[in-house]
Structure 1
Amino acid sequence: MPRECCSRCHRPVQVCLCKYITCSKSPMNLVVLQHPSEQKKAIGTAKLLGLCIKNCSRIVGECFSNHKTFEEILQQPCVVLFPNDSAITLHEFQHDYLQGTDIQSWNLIVIDGTWKKAKKIWYLNPQLHTLPSIVLSQSEPSTYRIRKVPNDAYLSTVEAAVMALRGLANDQTILESPLVAFKAMIDQQIQIMGNETYQNNYQK
């Protein structure tokens, strides 16, 4: 028998995250390009952005060249969060692009997937290459404690998006709910797997 799930957060009712979620508007529209393999992951973080940010849209796929909604978004001012040779810092983007413009008219595009899959989306969509790209100057390690990555510089989608939006808006107090819900989700998963399993598999 399938487990009963919450109709809002779509998690089993025993680990519902709704009490941690407050929906608010982001200073910049957020567009998440999600690799199909991420869509049904139990601990995927992009869904938290959609639950917590009113002006967040999620588009699932690999190639978006004929995607009507995405093509419409590209008619508006857009910036993509992705490390590449032409990427600039948040501060440089603010100076070069946001001066004299309304930040609310911009779209921040974030790619959701493993690093390998995110790169595939990047290369399959050359229209992204025409946009200004930004890269984070990370100061804090990821709190994604149940994921194996080469180093702490690898952030989850929810962490990267919130960090970028906070930096672009010059306000480190906004969009707290996605991170609170994210921490609660990780704590729940550690409790479910048990501390011994967590220590053996995820602690250095």
Structure 2
Amino acid sequence: MEPEEPTAIRTTLDSPSLSPQPRQICSTCDRPFLVCLCHALPTTPLPTRTKVLILQHPHESRHKLNTTPLISKSLQNATIISSRRLQPHHVADHSTPAIYLFPPSPSTPTYALSELQSSNLLNYQTTPLLLIVFDGTWKHAKEMVSASEGVLKGFALRVSLDGVDENATGGSIYNNELVLRKEPFGGCVSTLEAVARCLGVIEPNGKLIEEVLIGILREMVRLQAGFLKPLKPRPKLLKKSKQKDSEP
């Protein structure tokens, strides 16, 4: 990426095989000018009682459809750390109740987000909460959570969004309206939507915050739709040994 120019727009070169022409990048939202989201972002970042800590896999930051940067531009109390695991110094203040978003595993059950709301497990209405989110592909996120369990254990409660089902086919980035990034199974959502849905429950004005964040995501999907080809499911390829077994 080239240094910023004096104007509010900077340029970066696409791969020569795709386009030899430079494309304009908005210096505010860091997105190509044709899909700029500045008009959808709040005029000033929204304040929250909840501190949002996003641990982003280094590879994810290079993905063009990554939604995490939009969170830090929309929320005052959001921090992004590029790392493959949660380190103790990332969460130095253990006196703050904490939750982290991730589906359950055989060894680590979770509370559903709706249960967190009804049971008031952490008394988050009167105590500020730390929300930890792992941002990466499903494979990377599992690796990150596994590598971070030593820090998370006894400190943060695992919470999953309602509707997660590993036996169901994955949907799209937002409520199956458009397929931008294929999710591995039912209930998986983008990092932006996950944060929006969680803050919608735990923040005093959560519904407003959720509405703003989901509105940004809707606009992102709408703008990208004109530049993406529909994703077609690829047939599963059998290993050579299984192919021989299936032959008549």
Q: TM-score normalised by the shorter chain: which range applies?
A: 0.7 to 0.9
The CA distance in 2 between the partners of 1:175 and 1:100, in whole Å, is: 17
Per the TM alignment, residue 74 of structure 1 is displaced from its structure 2 partner at its CA by 4.1
Secondary structure of 2:29's partner?
coil
Are positions 1:201 and 2:235 aligned together? Answer: no
The CA distance in 2 between the partners of 1:100 and 1:50, in whole Å, is: 22
The correspondence for 1:41, drawn from 40, 52, 63, is 63
2:103 and 2:159 in contact (8 A); partners too:
yes
The CA distance in 2 between the partners of 1:92 and 1:132, in whole Å, is: 12
The correspondence for 1:16, drawn from 32, 36, 40, is 36
Where does residue 151 of structure 2 map in the other structure?
A: 127
1:77/1:8 CA distance change after superposition, 3 Å: same
The correspondence for 1:165, drawn from 199, 223, 227, is 199
The CA distance in 1 between the partners of 2:124 and 2:190, in whole Å, is: 31
1:167/1:138 CA distance change after superposition, 3 Å: farther
Runs of 5+ in structure 1 lacking a partner?
none
Secondary structure of 1:63's partner?
coil
Within 5 Å, give how 1:23-172 maps onto structure 2: 23-65=45-87, 68=89, 70-84=90-104, 85-94=108-117, 95-99=119-123, 102-103=126-127, 105-125=128-148, 126-130=150-154, 131-138=156-163, 141=175, 143=177, 145-169=179-203, 171-172=206-207
Q: Deviations over 1:2-28 (max 9, x none)?
A: 233211111122221111000212341
Secondary structure of 1:149's partner?
coil
1:20/1:151 CA distance change after superposition, 3 Å: same
Instruction: Look at both structures and tell me which one has the larger radius of gyration over its CA atoms.
Output: 2
Q: Deviations over 1:38-59 (max 9, x none)?
A: 1121110111111111111111
Indicate the larger mover: 110-119 or 145-154: 145-154
Relative contact order (alpha carbons < 8 A, sep ≥ 6): 1 or 2 greater?
A: 1
Q: Deviations over 1:99-121 (max 9, x none)?
A: 37624x21111111111111111
Higher-helix-fraction structure? 1
Aligned identity (percent) is 26
The letter for the 2-side match of 1:133 is R
1:100/1:114 CA distance change after superposition, 3 Å: closer
Where does residue 220 of structure 2 map in the other structure?
A: 185
The CA distance in 2 between the partners of 1:54 and 1:161, in whole Å, is: 14
CA RMSD of aligned residues (A): 2.5
1:32 and 1:110 in contact (8 A); partners too:
yes
* TM-score after normalising by structure 1: 0.83
Per the TM alignment, residue 177 of structure 1 is displaced from its structure 2 partner at its CA by 2.4
Secondary structure of 2:103's partner?
coil
1:132/1:114 CA distance change after superposition, 3 Å: same
What is the aligned residue count? 195
The CA distance in 2 between the partners of 1:184 and 1:44, in whole Å, is: 14
1:93/1:175 CA distance change after superposition, 3 Å: closer
Secondary structure of 1:109's partner?
strand
Per the TM alignment, residue 185 of structure 1 is displaced from its structure 2 partner at its CA by 1.6
